[in-house]
Every structure is written in C-alpha cells, then in structure tokens.
Amino acid sequence: PLRIELTALTNRLNEAVVQTGRIVHSVNTATQSISAAEVQKNLGNSFASALEQIKGMSMVQTGATIAKPVLHGMYGTRLLIMNNGVRQQGQQWGVDHAPELDANSAGRINVVKGAEAVRYGAEALGGVILLDGKALPYTRSQPEGYLSALYGSNGRRAALTGSVDAGLPLAGGRAAWRLQGTYLNGGDRSTAHYLLNNTGVREANGSVAFGWKRDRFEADGYYSLFSTRIGVLFSAQMGDEQLLRERIRLGRPTEFYPWTRQIDYPYQKVVHQVAKLHTRYTLSSGGHLEWQAAFQHDDRREFNQRRNFRSHVPTLDLQLESFQTDGRWQQAYADHWTTEAGLFYANVKNTNTPGTGVVPIIPNYVQQNAGVFAIQKYSGDNWGAEAGARLDHQRLNARGIDLYGRPYGKLDHYNNLTYTVGAHAHLLPGLDVLSNVGSAWRAPHVHELYSNGVEHSSGLFARGDANLRPEVSTKWITSLRYADHGFSASVDGYVQWIDNYIFDAPTSEVITMVSGAYPVFQYRATDAFFRGVDAEAKWQILPQLAVEGGAAWVRADDRTKQRPLPYIPSFRVSDAVTLQLGSISHVHDVYVKASHKYVAKQTHFDPATDLINFTPSAYHLFGAEVGANWVLPDGRKIKFLLTADNLFNREYREYTNRFRYYAHDLGRDVRFMLTWEF
C-alpha cells in the first residue's frame, strides 16, 4: 500500500530562509546565495574564489595557493563562517591561513551582508557565510548522487568529487544518510610568463551525514574531515635584508626550476575535523525547540627550510580543540508575530606542541564564550520588521614563554551587548526595500595581542599589542530589489563605524632571522569608517540570450589619522553574456558564456601603510564557458563543462595579494569537467 507521511509545520516564507529545518538568517538584511551547481563549477579552485561571484565579495591572498574570503573589506576573524550549522573554529587569525573546509560538501552557500551578531555572536562584524548542507532524502530509498572529475591546465590539477545519499525506514520512523568526498592534486602554478615554484596542493576531504525523524522529533549527525598540504612560494623564504629589498624591487622571483608536482619546503599541512549532533522537536503549539553540540579539532603544522637536517620538524605546530553547544526556541503566534530566543556556549583550547625548536608565534590559551539572545519579529502582508538583542561574555586566559624565557600573558574578560533592528517592505509590483541596523563586536585575538615572530607563509614578522581593546561596530545596510518581466536588479548601500579597529601595518624595520630577512608588521588600533555600494542586474533579453553585470565599491578610512586603511579591495566591475543553444539529439542545455572582469587601481592608498609606495595597475580579465548535458538511455545524465579563466593570459597583480611584492597573479587556466549524475 502507498503510505504518505505529512508533518504539520507552519513557515512564514518572508520571515527567514529555512534550510534543513534551521533558521539561517533574517529576511530584513541583504543576502545573496550560490547554488550547489555553481559551487561545483569551482572544483579545483579555492573556497574564497567561489564566493567572488557575489557582489561585495573578493579575496585576500597569500600567493597562488592560500586565499581568504573578503566581504565589504572584512576578512579573517571579522567574517563568521557557519559550516553545516557549526561555527567554524580554526586558525582564522593568520592572513596565510585559508578556511579549513570543503565547499563541495554544501548544498548551498548563503552570504549575509548585514551584521548578524545577535543571532550568531561575536566576530560577525562584516557578515556571515553560511554553508548549508543539502536536505537529507528521508522519503527516497533509491540511492542517488553524482561524481565529477576535473582537469585544470594551470598547475596540471586533477580533482574528483562525489556524493551519494538515500533514505530508509528505521525504528518506526524514517532515516537518511549521505557520503561525500573530494580529492585534489595539483603541481606548480604559473603566472602569464613564468612558473611559481613550490605552489602545488594536495587535498583529501570526506564527510558523512545521518538523520532520523519520527512524528515531532528529528535528529541528525554530521562528521567531516578536511586534510590539505599546501606549498608556499620559494620567494617567501629569503636570505638577508639586501636580498629582500632586491626581490621587492624586481617584483618577481629571480630563480626558476622545472615544473613539478612535488611539494617541497616550505609548506603547510592542515587536518580539520568536525563532529556535530543536532536535534529538533516540534511543539504542539507549532513552535519548535532545537539543540546542537559540536566538536572540532584543528591540527596545523608549518614547515620551512631549516639547517642541520631539521626541515622535517615543523616550525609551527598548533593543536586547537573546540566544543560548542547552543539551544534555540521559536514560536509563531497571533498570525503575525514570531519570537526566537537562544543560548550559546563554546570552549576553545589552543596548544603549541613542544619540540619545534622555535618560539611559538602565539601562546597557549583557553577561551570560553557564552551568550544569550532574543529576537521579536512581525510579518504583515506587505511589510515586516524585527528587533533583537544579545549579551555575550568572553574569558581569555593566555600563557606563553618568550625568546628570553620570560613568561607573558594574562587573564582577560570581555562583555558586550549587541542589538539589531530591521525591516522590509513591498513598495510596488516587483520592488522591495530592506534595511537593517546592527551592532557587532570582536575581542582582540591572541595573535593580535601577543604575536612576536615570523609568519613564514606570509613572509613577514608580526608583533602584537597586549593593550588592544575589543572592536565595537555599528553597520547600516539598505537594499533595493527589483524583479519583473525577465529583468532583475539590486543595489546594496552600507556604512559601518568601527571603534578600536585592529589592523597590521608595516614598520620601517626589517628583522633578520636564521631563515631569512622579514619586514616587521605591527598590530595597532584606530577608529575606522567603512562605506560602500554593491550593485548587479540581470536581463533575459530573449529566451536564448541573457546578460548580467555588477559592480562593487568599498572605501575605508582611519578616522583618527584621516588616512586610508590598508588592504581594502579596489573598485571592480564584472559582466557576462550567456547564449542558450538548445538541444542537439541527446545533448541538451547547450550554452556558451563569455565573461569579463575589470579591477581598478587602488588610488585610495597610504604609502606609509605598505612596503612599497604604489599600488598595482588596473587590469581586465576575460573568461569563457561552454556547457552541455548528455542524457543517457536510462535517463541518467552526464554534464560537460569547459571553462577558461584569464583567457588572454594577462599578467597582473592584485592589490590584496600579500605576495604581490614578489610575484604576479595567476595566468590562463583552462578547466574541463565531467559530471555523472545517477
């Protein structure tokens, strides 16, 4: 007999985006999304590069292999990443530390551009990146999935990713499971005219998800393993001060070696594990209770060329363990009102493994965070509003030993109250406006407080300041959205004030260590003012022809000294034309896409905050994409994708690349990908 199970749930679709049962963000602030299919097209590239298609997002890079996402000029510990509902807890403090996650495990990526500190807590100053897992197939017993293989010409990269899932009856309810994995192997990358030696990468990732639900109760678990080995450009580890200054003057490596897939010293090795358990219970009143607990372990080791055959001993060996748990309650009532409240607790322990022979750049520390929040929402027919507040407490106990054997560190306590007020309204057919004002905060990281050593991957010597105070921010973002008759457009404008904004800037000092000479960067604080605009438009001119374009502009200033802040992305414009060619026999959805990106020279620039007194020139990059689907006799599908980035092999430098002093950015990259959907 046919059995159909229905669960009585009430969701106001204009209240929040709901993904796999969890409210991920408010509708009263600007949000953009990337589908799993778009993420999959980025196979073989960095997680940060996948997000660049969202207006307002860019990257800060450390050479060809390490990239961190940037939103409205914010990155690192100012941009919160939620990985499958878990607050990503790794070594985000380093500009040379890429996020330790596999984007291919996500069903969708949402980028929330407003300050979401009330719902997510500290460090969400710039916004939140949400990697949402694809919903488990409880009602489907037949296994389904995909397998994708890719070859990339730049670095001769080979990549493989796949996923399979299914559902089954279990213990009077329904269960479901999913297995997912990714492998990447690449050699030396290249600029338009020369090799970037020792920029290979290895990556092996996997995840497993399991869920069960019955009546009003459901539970799901998740485990992921991310493992990578990343080569660091040889130029990052140099000889004396004279060679350093000569390398900066030349702007490119002076020695080149034949292409190789081998990764030599210096390199990074990172293993990151996440385990999560999440439960949800639907109340008879229609509301629900949620509880989640997660554990993460991050093992980071960095290796460099060392004397006396000690290169195999890491110069940095960090072990980070974190536990976090949170509970949420949500209740809708009186037709238009919804209340949400929650609690959060996290414990983070960071340990330097002894025996490296190098004084650790950061001390051992234990950090506890606790928070409580409440949000009240109203949803009418043509408008809605919300207001919320959160109280956070952070306890930080850091202890270390410096180069001279002297102990340092202290116990700090930080408290902060944050708020958010937002609204949205339907003004005219197809036209909506959203506006949100929110405060956020971030305590200074241990690295900013106490660092006093070489960041080998960045090629710099970092110094902290133990007297730094928490950053406190207020961000106001307003968005206009229009969509009608095949045309859509959006404009996001924002202003953000940050008191005690912490940043690193070069001094005039150069320190010579055994491994080489390094420019000294000092952490300092000031009051900052950020403002910017993101805009994009799409027009379906004909059923077969579509055009799209967008732009992003951000400016940031030191309010105290009245000068520009460093490493803020310059103005950029992107546009694309897509032509749908239809079907040819068993080949369907054939399309051709041409794209272009323009990045302006950063003219809002203070030479006193950089190693050199000029910024890179503006540049244009062109790309092309061809795709098609081949439907097999059994109904399954094979997808073909051919993509070219930097099609004309332009030589250029990106201002936010920390290695722009020593080398150019990547040259042409042609990628071919096959995907089998079953």
Which pLDDT tens digit goes with each residue over 3-34? 444 443 333 333 334 444 454 566 778 899 99
- Least Cα distance to 193 among 676, 670, 652 occurs for 652
* pLDDT at residue 111, as a whole number: 95
Enumerate residues 6+ apart whose C-beta is below 8 A from 381: none
**419-457 CB burial, b ≥16 within 10 A, e <16:** bbbbbbebeeeeebebbbbbbbbbbbbbbbbbbbbbbbb
**SS3 state at 617:** coil
Q: Tell me which amino acid residue 286 is.
A: G
Structural domains of the chain sorted by starting position, each given as residue range(s) with its CATH number in brackets:
16-677 (2.40.170.20)
447 by DSSP, 3-state: which?
helix
- pLDDT tens figures, 94-121: 888 999 999 999 989 999 998 788 999 8
What mean pLDDT do residues 414-442 have?
Answer: 95
Task: Assess contact for 315 and 302: CB atoms under 8 A.
Answer: yes
DSSP-based three-state secondary structure for 443: coil
Amino acid at 329: W
Cα atoms in the Cβ-side hemisphere of radius 13 Å centred on 7: 18
Q: What is the pLDDT of residue 175?
A: 98
Q: List, for residues 612-664, the tens digit of each pLDDT value.
A: 889 999 999 999 999 999 999 888 999 999 999 999 999 999 999 988 988 99
The neighbour count for residue 320, using CB atoms within 10 Å, is 18
Model pTM score: 0.92
Per-residue pLDDT, averaged over 366-394, amounts to 96
Q: Span 318-333, mean pLDDT?
A: 97
Tell me: cis bond preceding 266? Omega within 30 of 0 counts: yes
Contacts of 75 by beta carbon, 8 Å cutoff, 6+ apart:
60, 68, 69, 95, 126
Dist CA 88 CA 74 (whole Å): 16
Q: Find where tokens 């080569």 sit.
A: 231
Average pLDDT over residues 429-443: 95
Closest listed residue to residue 113, CA positions, set 100, 130, 98, 97? 130
Confidence of residue 537 (pLDDT cuts 50, 70, 90): very high
Residue 81 DSSP class: E
Q: Look at residue 25 in the predicted model and tell me its pLDDT.
A: 61
CA distances from 410 to 11, 33, 367, 415, 500 (A): 48, 42, 12, 17, 20
55 SS3 class: coil
Residues 39-56, mean pLDDT to the nearest whole number? 93
Segment 427-439 mean pLDDT: 95
Q: Encoding tokens for residue 270?
A: 């990172």
Q: How confident is the model at residue 237 (pLDDT cuts 50, 70, 90)?
A: low
Please tell me the distance from the alpha carbon of residue 107 to that of residue 35, in angstroms, as a whole number.
Answer: 7
pLDDT at 588 over 60: yes
Rounded to whole angstroms, how far apart are CA atoms 234 and 304?
10
| Helix/strand/coil for 287 | coil
Alpha-carbon gap, residue 527 to 103, rounded angstroms: 34
Provide the pLDDT confidence category of residue 610 given band limits of 50, 70 and 90. confident
Average pLDDT in the 225-236 region? 90
Amino acid at 467: N
Q: Which of 514, 15, 8, 605 is nearest to 282 (CA)?
A: 8
Segment 497-521, tens digit of pLDDT: 999 999 988 887 888 877 677 889 9
Average pLDDT, integer, range 387-403: 96
> Does residue 365 surpass a pLDDT of 90?
yes
- pLDDT for position 614: 92
- Per cent of the chain over pLDDT 90 is 78
Q: How far apart are CA 8 and CA 573, in angstroms?
A: 46
- Whole-number pLDDT of residue 150: 98
